[in-house]
Amino acid sequence: MAFGLPADGFYESFMQFPKSSGSTGFSQSKIGDRLSSQYNLEERLQIEYLIDPVNAQTNLESAQDVISGLSQTPKSLPPRYFYDDRGSQLFEQICELPEYYLTRTEAAIFQEYAGAIAQLTGACEIVELGSGSSSKTRLLLDAYQQQGYPLRYLPIDVSAGILESSARTLLADYSSLKIHGLVSTYELALERLSPAPLPTRMICFIGSTLGNLNPDECHVFFSQITQALQPGEYFLLGIDLQKPKGLLEAAYNDSQGVTAAFNLNMLSHLNQRFGGNFDLNQFEHWSFYNESLHQIEMHLRSLKAQTVELQDLGMAIAFQPGETILSEISRKFDLTQIQQELSAKGLQPIQTWTDLNQWFGLLLCQRHNS
């Protein structure tokens, strides 16, 4: 069901352009390009809501995961609670940190191989799960544009604000691009994808977000991808690979304390969202690499015995000194193993690219015919 929309299921957005007089920092041709794309914007942007963004923020039913996570031993919280506005900003900062090699390593792989991806798939609709700021997508769009293919992009994100603002920026920069954004969870969007208007489709799940799913969730997710694709269509997956513990632990314990702030911000998000009284000075960030499970674990550790209330959920949560809440796992993959898992799910890896250090992997898979 779509919420708050006209009957046709989507609405159009309009963007502001810099004035052509005065110092805009754009060359004349760039301004001309941007102004001409303004005129057909209505035809080029559709945003469809599959979740209600207002209720998604307030609906207490959606807090069931908080209630169960904080009621069990050991305690845990779903990583989706990292991403309020401040959390999203902090994550952007993490991606720029010297220790957090993931973003720039994956971007470098895209830089080098986006052209090869475009050649392998041919003209296709690019679907991106958890599109965020869509920054790496630009490298793909550039490659498809260079091949002379039509540009169609279907970003999917639960955050309407980030989806809309990055869509506007992309439309201003690619004058032939058409965007159909879905404000949605992955599951819902994958169930609702209608047939691609181009010869094929590629669903992208990059940034190693797969690592934040446990093995069971991962299993279910791959099945959802297989079901969403037609035989012959593509799945592009970006994953962080296993590497020495020291490099991994540095990436999740940066010297500027941004990851610590990102982790602790989850508690202030819960305070705002559910009338809570977590005292951020009474918890600390703790993360380490669990070598047997090949995963970084991020925890929030209570510095003393304390009871915290989440008034809107009617909860009083008791903590022992040193007790932790698991806030995230970030799994690190073995290429051969993941290739086998994908293949068993009907997603045949047809090409895999890595960086020189073999720190990060990008896999292009194609759905089997059967």
Residues making contact with ligand AVI (CB under 6 A)? 94, 102, 207-209, 211-212, 252, 259, 328, 330
Cα–Cα distance between 105 and 94 in angstroms, integer? 14
Write the DSSP string, 137-194. Answer: HHHHHHHHHHTT---EEEEEES-HHHHHHHHHHHHHH-TT-EEEEEES-HHHHHHHPP
Least distance to ligand AVI, CB of residue 330, Å: 3
Q: How far is the CB of 151 from ligand AVI (least distance, A)?
A: 26
Looking at beta carbons only, is 110 or 252 nearer to ligand AVI? 252
* CB closer to ligand AVI out of 208 and 339: 208
Minimum separation from the CB atom of position 263 to ligand AVI (A): 7
Q: Taking the complex as a whole, how short is the minimal distance between the CB of residue 117 and ligand AVI, in angstroms?
A: 20
Which residues are CB-contacts of 54 (< 8 A; sequence separation ≥ 6)? 4
Q: Kindly state the smallest distance separating residue 289's Cβ from ligand AVI, in Å.
A: 12
Q: Least distance (Å) from ligand AVI to the CB of residue 341?
A: 18
Determine the Cα–Cα distance for residues 252 and 288; give it in Å rounded to an integer.
8
* CB nearer ligand AVI, residue 266 or residue 308: 266
- Rounded Cα–Cα distance for residues 63 and 199 (Å): 41
β-pair partners for 239? 361
Query: Two tokens at 233?
Result: 């269509």
* Closer CB to ligand AVI, 222 or 252, in the complex: 252
- The residue among 124 and 237 lying less far from ligand AVI, judged by its C-beta, is 237
**Whole-number Å distance between alpha carbons of 68 and 90:** 26
Q: How far is the CB of 363 from ligand AVI (least distance, A)?
A: 16
Asked if residue 160 lies in contact with residue 181, where contact means CB atoms within 8 angstroms, the answer is: no
Nearer to ligand AVI, 101 or 235 (CB): 101
Element (H, E) at 110: helix 101-121
In the complex, minimum distance from the CB of residue 209 to ligand AVI, in angstroms, rounded to a whole number: 5
Instruction: Record the tokens describing residue 316, joined without a space.
Output: 């009083």
**In terms of Cα–Cα distance, which of 81, 51, 83, 75 is closest to 274?**
81
* Contacts (Cβ under 8 Å, ≥6 apart) of 248: 289, 296, 332
**Which region, left, alpha or beta, applies to residue 22 given φ > 0 means left and ψ of -120 to 50 means alpha?**
left
Nearer to ligand AVI, 83 or 144 (CB): 83
Q: Which residue is nearest to ligand AVI (CB)?
A: 330
